[in-house]
């Protein structure tokens, strides 16, 4: 005879069966049965944040750094709606996430009840799928299906909304998963690839200036090793998108670095002049392509992606390939032996000349953000987990930090969510307690979720927050300087908190740095400590992120190259 469990107990039992050991969340009235059951579930660690947005970003950071789905709990109404920005962030960057929200009781649905919100309707466009569970007997099946949908194919967020009486209902529970998944409308597509890949390699064998372009799909499919093998066997240079940073080590001789609006000059020139572009798990977003008509104008373009909807969405591919990147490369690598590729030495020499002519550079005067990131890079040898906020800090980090491994550079790419970095760092540090975690931040973005310092301190997380404090909403100011005649409209935030005292108020350690020679000692002190540190670096106010491609321009038209 099957035992009986409440809906809340079934939820927690199912989460354990799915391998969940950590949940980020914030309780409230509509999830009281779940939190009561959680009290008796010591095998799951619950991290109490200070705001639901912090919870979902922390779950996101946990997922990006581990490859496992992040899980977040929130109550109904405002608790659920506070998740929306984080869910959209995960959706845009294809992060596997399962959000569980409480809902008012079934009898109160649709009556504008206290803390009622139609969260499934609200999140419909920003989730892979969502559920309102009205039958407690369906709860276990829904959870199993939700984890499958979140992690299979192109990963993404799934939301499960559970009314309070469904959580409290007592129903039979005897096995998990309760039955085979039935998903006739959810088909994972993959071509029969060998013949198609042979055709593509035949075309590549005729190329003289090829480039491999790695996106976040390479990291998500665990294909970094196959990418390395492909690059080294063919001697083709590798560039990456912001989401692809870490897929190929920055210190490898074949690495071109980041392409696009704030990409490196030699990389943008290489894209413009290449005659063959192999895009792997990329979206060809507007920040990458610039003016579409002038993007890789001479190249045969191959686009490999697991999501058919991405093919030909922004860039028309001569050879579209639908498939998981790791699987595709596993098929492609043995086929390489059948082809003889040209000598790419002249191509490498041309790229080297661009690198020498247009290096990343900044004026060595005052305290510069670029210098601070270089110091972080030197002290961590490119092996730390880096989270970023969004804005100038994010782009400087992408340009100057040299990541050496996948899943180590964690940043909000598609949605560009300010306030992402600190809670994401919480999730990363929870997942990797012995690792070095550095959140590179701006003073504006840091203030958007600064309350999560309390979460970091309470959980004794040795997160290092480095604020590049210029007293501005820096990237907006840069655009106003460059494109709006320096009309600095509402971007001055010099009236702000004393970040050292703020850190101390939360129980963290605060340091202030105003001179270049003081950067390294402050970083060394923080990195060797087991406490949460906030280093407030007072940087040059009007430093710009360069090079920069003006919005809508071709990527070879760069300012400050």
DSSP state, 179? S
H/E stretch holding 255 reads: strand 255-258
Spot the catalytic one: 475, 478, 480, 558: 475
Report how far residue 101's alpha carbon sits from residue 169's, in angstroms, rounded to the nearest whole number. Answer: 16
DSSP result, 488-502: --S-B--S---HHHH
Q: What share of the chain is helix, strand, coil (3-state, %, to 5)?
A: 40, 20, 40
- Helix segments in 93-205, DSSP class H: 119-123, 139-151, 164-168, 194-204
Spot the catalytic one: 13, 52, 116, 226: 52
Q: Which CA distances in Å does 422 have to 446, 490, 532? A: 7, 24, 11
Report how far residue 258's alpha carbon sits from residue 40's, in angstroms, rounded to the nearest whole number. Answer: 48
Backbone angles phi, psi at 452, to 5 degrees: -75, -5
Mark whether 232 is an active-site residue.
Answer: no
Q: Which two tokens stand for residue 369?
A: 């953000």
Mark whether 365 is an active-site residue.
Answer: no
Furthest-apart CA atoms within the chain: distance in Å: 76
Spot the catalytic one: 16, 68, 115, 458: 115
Mark whether 115 is an active-site residue.
Answer: yes
Spot the catalytic one: 18, 145, 147, 164: 164
Identify which of 561, 534, 529, 536 has the alpha carbon closest to the alpha carbon of residue 547: 561
Report how far residue 216's alpha carbon sits from residue 62's, in angstroms, rounded to the nearest whole number. Answer: 16
Spot the catalytic one: 4, 114, 378, 542: 114
44-74 as b/e: b if 16+ CB within 10 A: eebbebbbbbbbbbbbbbbbbbbebbbbbbb
Mark whether 330 is an active-site residue.
Answer: no
Starting at the earlier edge strand, list the strands of the sheet with 300-305.
255-258, 238-240, 210-214, 276-280, 300-305, 319-322
Q: Answer yes or no: are the C-beta atoms of 150 and 69 closer than 8 Å.
A: yes
Beta-bridge mates of residue 465: 439, 534
Mark whether 271 is an active-site residue.
Answer: no
Q: Determine the 3-state secondary structure of 111 from DSSP.
A: coil
Q: Which two tokens stand for residue 413?
A: 């790419």
What are the catalytic residues? 52, 114-115, 164, 475
């Amino acid at each position: 005879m099957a035992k009986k469990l409440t809906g809340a107990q079934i939820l927690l039992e199912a989460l354990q069966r799915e391998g969940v050991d950590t949940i980020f969340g914030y309780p409230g009235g509509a999830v009281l049965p779940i939190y009561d059951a959680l009290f008796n579930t010591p095998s799951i660690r619950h991290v109490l944040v200070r705001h639901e947005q912090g919870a979902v970003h922390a779950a996101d950071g946990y997922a990006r750094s581990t490859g496992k789905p992040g899980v977040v709990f929130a109550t109904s109404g405002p608790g659920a709606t506070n998740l929306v920005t984080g869910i959209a962030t995960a959706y845009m960057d294809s992060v596997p996430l399962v959000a569980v929200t409480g809902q008012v009781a079934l009898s109160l649905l649709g009556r504008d009840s206290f803390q009622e919100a139609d969260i499934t309707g609200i999140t419909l466009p920003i989730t892979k799928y969502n559920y309102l569970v009205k039958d407690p007997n369906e709860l276990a099946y829904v959870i199993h299906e939700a984890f499958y949908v979140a992690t299979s194919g192109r990963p993404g967020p799934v939301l499960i909304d559970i009314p309070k009486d469904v959580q409290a209902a007592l129903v039979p529970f005897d096995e998990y998963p309760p039955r085979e998944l039935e998903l006739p409308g959810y088909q994972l597509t993959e071509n029969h690839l060998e013949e198609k890949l042979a055709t593509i390699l035949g075309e590549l064998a005729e190329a003289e200036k090829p480039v491999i372009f790695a996106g976040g799909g390479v990291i998500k499919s665990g294909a970094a090793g196959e990418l390395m093998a492909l690059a080294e066997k063919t001697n083709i240079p590798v560039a990456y998108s912001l989401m692809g940073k870490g897929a190929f080590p920055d210190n490898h001789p074949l690495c071109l670095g980041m392409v696009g609006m704030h990409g490196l000059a030699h990389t943008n020139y290489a894209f413009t002049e290449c005659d063959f572009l192999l895009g792997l798990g990329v979206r060809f977003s507007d920040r990458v392509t610039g003016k579409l008509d002038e993007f890789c104008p001479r190249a045969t373009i191959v686009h490999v992606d697991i999501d058919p909807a991405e093919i030909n969405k922004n860039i028309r591919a001569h050879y579209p390939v639908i498939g998981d990147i790791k699987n595709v490369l596993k098929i492609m690598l043995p086929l390489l032996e059948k082809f003889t590729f040209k000598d790419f030495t002249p191509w490498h020499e041309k790229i080297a000349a661009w690198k020498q002519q247009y290096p990343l550079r900044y004026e060595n005067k005052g305290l510069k953000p670029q210098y601070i990131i270089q110091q972080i890079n030197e002290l961590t040898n490119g092996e730390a987990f880096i989270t970023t906020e969004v804005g100038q800090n994010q782009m400087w980090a992408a340009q100057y930090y040299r990541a050496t491994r996948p899943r180590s550079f964690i940043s909000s790419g598609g949605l560009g969510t300010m306030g992402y970095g600190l809670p994401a760092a919480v999730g990363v540090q929870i997942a990797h307690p012995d690792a070095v975690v550095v959140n590179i931040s701006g003073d504006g973005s840091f203030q958007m979720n600064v309350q999560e310092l309390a979460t970091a301190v309470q959980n004794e997380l040795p997160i290092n927050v480095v604020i590049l404090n210029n007293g501005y909403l820096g990237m907006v100011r840069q655009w106003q300087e460059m494109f709006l005649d320096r009309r600095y409209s509402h971007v001055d935030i010099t009236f702000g908190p004393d970040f050292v005292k703020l850190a101390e108020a939360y129980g963290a350690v605060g340091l202030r740095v105003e001179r270049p020679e003081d950067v390294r000692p402050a970083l060394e002190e923080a990195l060797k400590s087991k406490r949460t540190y906030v280093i407030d670096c007072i940087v040059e106010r009007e430093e710009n992120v360069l090079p920069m491609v003006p919005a809508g321009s071709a990527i070879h038209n760069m300012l400050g190259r």
